[in-house]
């Protein structure tokens, strides 16, 4: 079991394809590892191994050689508890839906299962994905395997913790303001926020929204590329969803050219950053000089990005959750109430101004990428913090006036609609992982993965997970 747990997803899929290990053996391994570690991390509170074994039995009757190239061949995976999986408990981290069981699967889940992914359970998430810390009134708090007194971040904290603890080999996450990238940074894994509509999902209440996206989470870059290949593609239920690229993301990592100029920003021009995080990320940015024609400190003009994000996020919350506020206010956590009420205060002029500002910002970003291949910046302004804190209120003497502002580094990049990956780039003196964001032009996930991979190949960070949960004495 230990050997399988430590293998990469790419390695294990190869064993499955060659018949050297069976899906049921991997399910046994995943289940045993969850039993061994989940009391410490609480990453996977909802399990569905009976359903998973029924799926494995169907797969084992197939001939692997007749399957398409984009196939996981029976690899166990985790799905975030914001996404429905048919016949599996689906709480969205909310007491309102504590007993709900999904009567359908998201089309993304259907695609993953059709392509050989076996869902073993749902990873923990904060209520409706709100906040960069994973706790809720249904399942409690998820902790970080690197230090179980710390948070793995959120809202894909359960997914990140499950990966880092070796419970699964791949995990689906989602990202609005850093929900996938912050947990990747805090747990020493890889998390990719693709361009909007790269991964189709639905049916959705807001099918035309481009802010929330689904994305792959993995222990290394090739595994993230593998998962993105399996996840990507258009679907009629997700309007404007993008077709899969002609060249697979895995193949894009085989021949990587030297890059042009790369920009690094320590703070996107306006975010306070913990000094230790800043030093670690600055050294990582310097390392990129070997892969390109030069690294310069530069940043697109993002002066209004946080305000745009806050406005359009609030619009999404009022559209999605207004009925819940009127019917179940006493069951909602304060942060969700704050977001819904912020949305209720918006008027047409507010929304129109934010949309115009985002359009202007995007033009500035396009101009920026005519000069630079990538933008590098820290993923989070702090390393993983104690999970008893709901959120970060102050950094470097700067006090935040709301629970979202400490997430400005990832959320400001959300506004650009560009793909962004978080990769581990170092560790604090206390041994906590630190992540670096790499952003590339819109719809160029292949380039972002390439940049992440050339860095990963020259460093050993990816090899340090999975990790047995560490509880301080």
Each residue's pLDDT tens digit, 87-107: 999 999 999 999 999 999 999
Is 80 exceeded by the pLDDT of residue 2?
no
41-70 pLDDT per residue, tens: 999 999 999 999 999 999 999 988 889 989
179 is catalytic: yes
257-296 pLDDT per residue, tens: 999 999 999 999 999 999 999 999 999 999 999 999 999 9
Given pLDDT bands bounded at 50, 70 and 90, which one contains residue 1? low
Tokens linked to 355: 């949309």
Catalytic pick from 94, 155, 156, 161? Answer: 155
Going by their DSSP bridges, the two strands 259-264 and 190-193 should be labelled as unpaired
Query: 302 burial class (0-12, 13-18, 19+ CB within 10 angstroms)?
Result: buried
Establish if 342 belongs to a structural domain: no
Establish if 258 belongs to a structural domain: yes
Establish if 319 belongs to a structural domain: no
Query: What is the CATH classification number for the domain harbouring 58?
Result: 3.90.1300.10
pTM above 0.75, yes or no: yes
Q: Which domain holds residue 17?
A: 2-304+351-464
Is 70 exceeded by the pLDDT of residue 463?
yes
Query: 243 burial class (0-12, 13-18, 19+ CB within 10 angstroms)?
Result: exposed
Establish if 333 belongs to a structural domain: no
Report pLDDT for 284: 98
Report pLDDT for 47: 99
Catalytic pick from 30, 80, 174, 333? Answer: 80
Establish if 317 belongs to a structural domain: no
What phi and psi values does residue 120 have, to the nearest 5 degrees? -100, -15
324-364 pLDDT per residue, tens: 999 999 999 999 999 999 999 999 999 999 999 999 999 99
Report pLDDT for 334: 96
Name 311's Cβ contacts closer than 8 Å, sequence gap at least 6: 346, 350, 351, 353, 354
197 is catalytic: no
Establish if 24 belongs to a structural domain: yes
Report pLDDT for 473: 83
**How many domains would you assign to the chain?**
1
* CB distance 163 to 217 below 8 Å: yes
Establish if 473 belongs to a structural domain: no
Catalytic pick from 179, 265, 411, 422? Answer: 179
Is 90 exceeded by the pLDDT of residue 466?
yes
**Range 190-203 average pLDDT:** 98
Establish if 313 belongs to a structural domain: no
Mean per-residue pLDDT over the chain, rounded: 97
């Amino acid at each position: 079991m230990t050997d399988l747990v430590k293998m990469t997803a790419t390695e294990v899929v190869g064993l499955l394809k060659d018949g050297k290990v069976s899906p049921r053996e991997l399910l046994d391994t995943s289940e045993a590892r969850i039993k061994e570690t989940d009391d410490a991390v609480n990453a996977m509170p909802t399990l569905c191994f009976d359903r998973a074994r029924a799926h494995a039995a169907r797969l084992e009757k197939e001939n692997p050689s007749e399957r398409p190239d984009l196939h996981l061949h029976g690899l166990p995976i985790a799905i975030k508890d914001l996404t429905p999986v048919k016949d599996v408990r689906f709480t969205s981290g909310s007491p309102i839906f504590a007993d709900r069981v999904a009567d359908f699967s998201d089309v993304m889940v259907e695609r993953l299962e059709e392509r050989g992914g076996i869902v073993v359970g749902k990873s923990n998430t904060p209520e409706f994905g709100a906040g960069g810390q994973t706790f809720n009134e249904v399942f409690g708090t998820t902790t970080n395997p690197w230090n179980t007194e710390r948070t793995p971040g959120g809202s894909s904290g359960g997914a990140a913790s499950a990966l880092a603890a070796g419970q699964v080999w791949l995990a689906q996450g989602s990202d609005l303001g850093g929900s996938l990238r912050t947990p990747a940074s805090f747990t020493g894994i890889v998390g990719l926020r693709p361009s909007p509509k790269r991964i189709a999902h639905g049916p959705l209440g807001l099918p035309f929204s481009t802010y929330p996206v689904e994305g792959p989470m993995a222990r290394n870059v090739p595994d993230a590329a593998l998962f993105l290949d399996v996840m990507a593609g258009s679907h009629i239920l997700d309007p404007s969803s993008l077709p899969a690229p002609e060249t697979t993301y895995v193949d894009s990592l085989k021949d990587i050219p030297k890059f042009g100029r790369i920009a690094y920003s320590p703070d996107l021009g306006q975010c306070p950053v913990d000094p230790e995080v800043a030093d670690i990320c600055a050294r990582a940015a310097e390392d990129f000089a070997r892969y390109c024609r030069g690294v310069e400190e530069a940043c697109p003009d993002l002066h209004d990005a946080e305000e745009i994000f806050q406005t359009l996020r609030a619009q999404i919350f009022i559209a999605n959750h207004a009925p819940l506020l009127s019917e179940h206010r006493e069951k909602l956590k304060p942060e969700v109430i704050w977001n819904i009420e912020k949305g209720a205060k918006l008027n047409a002029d507010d929304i129109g101004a934010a949309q115009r500002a985002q359009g202007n910002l995007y033009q500035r970003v396009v101009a920026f990428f005519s000069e630079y291949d990538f933008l590098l910046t820290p993923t989070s302004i702090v390393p993983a913090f104690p999970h008893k804190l709901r959120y970060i209120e102050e950094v470097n003497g700067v006090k935040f006036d709301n629970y979202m502002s400490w997430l400005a580094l990832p959320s400001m990049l959300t506004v650009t609609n560009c793909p962004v990956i978080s990769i581990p780039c170092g560790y604090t003196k206390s041994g906590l992982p630190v992540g670096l964001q790499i952003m590339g032009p819109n719809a160029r996930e292949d380039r972002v993965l390439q940049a992440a991979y050339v860095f990963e190949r020259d460093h050993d960070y990816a090899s340090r997970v999975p990790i047995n949960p560490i509880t301080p004495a």
